[in-house]
Amino acid sequence: MNSPYVLLYNLQNTKGAKIKMICHKMNIGFKAVEKSEYSIKITDLLNHKETENASENDNFSDEMLLLAHFNNQLLDIFLKNLKSGKVPVVLKAVLTEHNSNFTSNQLHNEISAEHKALREGRAAHKV
């Protein structure tokens, strides 16, 4: 199994430093994703593959986390540490079979739409 890993977006600040410290204490790998990497597939980012950047121009500025290769227990502990450390990040996703081939831009668009739908009390996806 792959080691737990966190991708951080737009967190080059005190909050990002706190998240990195939590990762370090929990022995979780992490990477601050640069805007120039937002059009690279998430699996390639996680596998540290050098790829050509397809030029997507919808770079986002929201803070976002992608949590990869977490078991349920580790996920619970990590989220509790974020909460107890007062490190709120609204947009969070867990790596899935469905989103692993997304680019960061696509992932952001997807979870932003889901978050908006939940705030408005409606279904995020049509069934």
Q: Which residue numbers in the chain have pLDDT < 50?
A: none
- Residue 25's contacts (CB-CB under 8 Å, 6 or more residues apart) are 81
Q: Specify the pLDDT at position 121.
A: 77
Please say whether the beta carbons of 22 and 8 come within 8 A. Answer: no
Whole-number pLDDT of residue 82 = 96
In the chain, where are the structural domains located?
5-119
Question: In this predicted structure, what is the pLDDT of residue 54?
Answer: 57
pLDDT in tens, 58-77: 689 999 999 999 999 999 99
